[in-house]
A and B are shown apart, each in its own frame.
Chain A
Amino acid sequence: MTSVVPKLQILDKLGNGHFGEVFLGQDAVHGQVAVKVVSRKAENDDEEWVDIRREFLAEAQHLKTATHRNVVQVYGIDEVEDAIRFTMAYCPGGSLQAHFERGPMTLAAVRKVAIDVLIGLHALHGREMLHRDIKPGNILLDHLGMAKLGDFGLVTDRLLLGYGSAAGYADHIAVEVWQGRGTSIKSDIWALGMTLFRLLHGQVWYVFQNECPADVIAQGGFIERLRWLPHVPKPWRKVIRKMMADNTNDRYATTQEVLNAISALPTEPEWTVPIVTEDLVRWELQSPKRLNVVEWNIHGQRQHEWRAWSQPLGKGNNRSLGASTKVIGRNQVDRELEAYFR
């Protein structure tokens, strides 16, 4: 007999998730969907594979209760040969990992992401669920640019045997989790703080100017070792530091508290940072007629120079707005640039 209902079609590969590959699919009801395929690994014996499937099914049922505009909707789960397929809402804006890799996002863009994510996270926490894997790659943008949390709850306890060892994941593990105290609302808040830090700074700055978090978080004092881009205002640093405080009593207790703190943060002036390399950082601020530019040349660990100027968008002359008087050290360049951006 002729089939009327078309099967789920797998189109392009979108990327690799922590537990499998993600594809773009075409579903008869939902249209374009994201399909996550978790394949059986060679080391999974029959009994283990049955257990894993049961756990994923239980998680999928659990996720049904988490329908929210800031959480990626899971439509269904099915089995295909030696794999499990999750069908989820497709977010055409992709994940924030790509934004992170491109460079620093503006304050306004990061605050919008933070608010969207916090509202979604509040809904999860209110249903007594944790995300446990908040990072740029797990925040997706829909067709309107609204941020949604993805890939939550799929990290079941039993599957967490490799917890903290996967690349890019360990950076988001709070100090108390490293110390074996388990995940909580506060460890989700910590991971979001780390996510915001990364989005504000972009990949190049994060990698070249900061120590590898996975190597140092467990020792404590990590927030004091973060290196900030000088245009990031003090109130932002204060909030992110509080989100990532080592002592959980010093950390925000709820997403509601974080939302209030984030809501009060300034988003102007809206500097963009189009260039961040190992030896140059460039900021730009556009007004209707002029472009303000700041450049920081990093000649070496202890040798820095900066200058700021305004240039016309049409005819006119450049105007100098400030500069270092000579080659200066790291602390001094931080101080001078922070003062300039203040």
Chain B
Amino acid sequence: MATRCVGLMVGSGEVTVVDTQIPDDCDAPISLVTDVTWKLPTGDRQKGYETLFHRCKDYLEVNGIDQVVVKASSVPQGKANGGLLDSAELRGVIMCAAASACETRVLKKEVISRTYGRKVDDCVNDDAFWAEKLEGAKLRKGSREAAMLVIAHRARP
């Protein structure tokens, strides 16, 4: 049976959500169900976190999602700033919400790169790669990294 899998990329003020269906046939492309963004409400962050926690949990429950893949936090190459810490906070909230609703995996960028023997950023910019790997709804260019999580998860479950 096909698996419903969601890739989540968390920024400091929003979450990119790529909802997909992974077919049983390993050679068949992944089907994109929807590609949306959840925005963190402005104002008090703690209230915003609560909103996104429930938004995430509800989405996964209502849509019967089997699996979630979240991109892990990584150590910055430059100086850490407030935005980075905000992202990490929100990422924790989203991981918690996802794990409370379904099986959740956290993938590091290096793991994704090793899966394809090339850098994630190369894959993200490669239109041919996406034409081969994905079908269905339209994927926004900015959401490719979130979709990459699902693709990498499928290749290395």
Instruction: Spell out A's residues near B (CB within 8 Å).
Output: 68-69, 108, 111-112, 115, 119, 122-123, 126-127, 256, 259-260, 262-268
Contacts and interface: CB of A to CB of B under 8 A. Distances in A.
B62 interface: yes
B22 to A, nearest CB: 21
Contacts of B47: 112
A298 B128 CA distance: 65
A271 B51 CA distance: 24
B38 A266 contact: no
Given A256-B36, A259-B55, A111 B41 contact: yes
B78 to A, nearest CB: 28
A112 B127 CA distance: 41
A123 B62 contact: yes
Contacts of A268: 43
A266 B58 contact: no
B51 A115 contact: yes
Nearest to B34: A256
Contacts of B40: 263
A266 B51 CA distance: 16
Contact of B42 (A112, A119, A127, A267): A267
Interface in B31-50: 36-43, 47-48
Contacts of B63: 126
Contact of A69 (B36, B37, B54): B54
Contacts of B51: 115, 119, 263
Nearest to A257: B36
B55 A119 contact: yes
B43 A127 contact: no
A259 B62 CA distance: 16
27 contacts: A68-B58, A108-B43, A111-B41, A112-B47, A115-B51, A119-B54, A119-B55, A122-B55, A122-B58, A122-B62, A123-B62, A126-B62, A126-B63, A127-B62, A256-B36, A256-B38, A259-B39, A260-B37, A260-B38, A260-B39, A263-B42, A263-B48, A263-B51, A264-B39, A264-B42, A266-B42, A268-B43
B41 A115 contact: yes
If over half of A's interface residues share one DSSP class (helix, strand or loop), that class is named, otherwise mixed; here it is: helix
A100 B73 CA distance: 45
Interface in B48-78: 48, 51, 54-55, 58-59, 62-63
B58 A263 contact: no
B138 to A, nearest CB: 15
Contacts of B58: 68, 119, 122-123, 126
B56 to A, nearest CB: 11
A122 B58 CA distance: 8
Contacts of A263: 39-42, 48, 51
Closest 6 CB pairs of A and B: A126-B62, A263-B41, A263-B39, A260-B39, A267-B43, A115-B51
Interface centre among B41, B51, B59 (most CB of A within 10 A): B41
A127 B61 CA distance: 10
Nearest to B17: A256
A108 B62 CA distance: 28
A229 to B, nearest CB: 21
A126 B59 CA distance: 8
Nearest to B47: A112
Contacts of B36: 256
A265 B41 CA distance: 8
A268 B41 CA distance: 13
Contacts of A256: 36, 38
A195 to B, nearest CB: 18
Contacts of A265: 42
Contacts of B59: 122
A336 B56 CA distance: 42
A69 B61 CA distance: 13
Contacts of B54: 69, 119
Contacts of A260: 37-39
Interface centre among B36, B38, B58 (most CB of A within 10 A): B58
Given A119-B58, A122-B55, A122-B58, 4 more contacts: A68-B58, A127-B62, A263-B48, A266-B42
B26 to A, nearest CB: 30
A71 B39 CA distance: 22
Contacts of B48: 263
B42 A259 contact: no
Contacts of A119: 51, 54-55, 58
Contacts of A122: 55, 58-59, 62
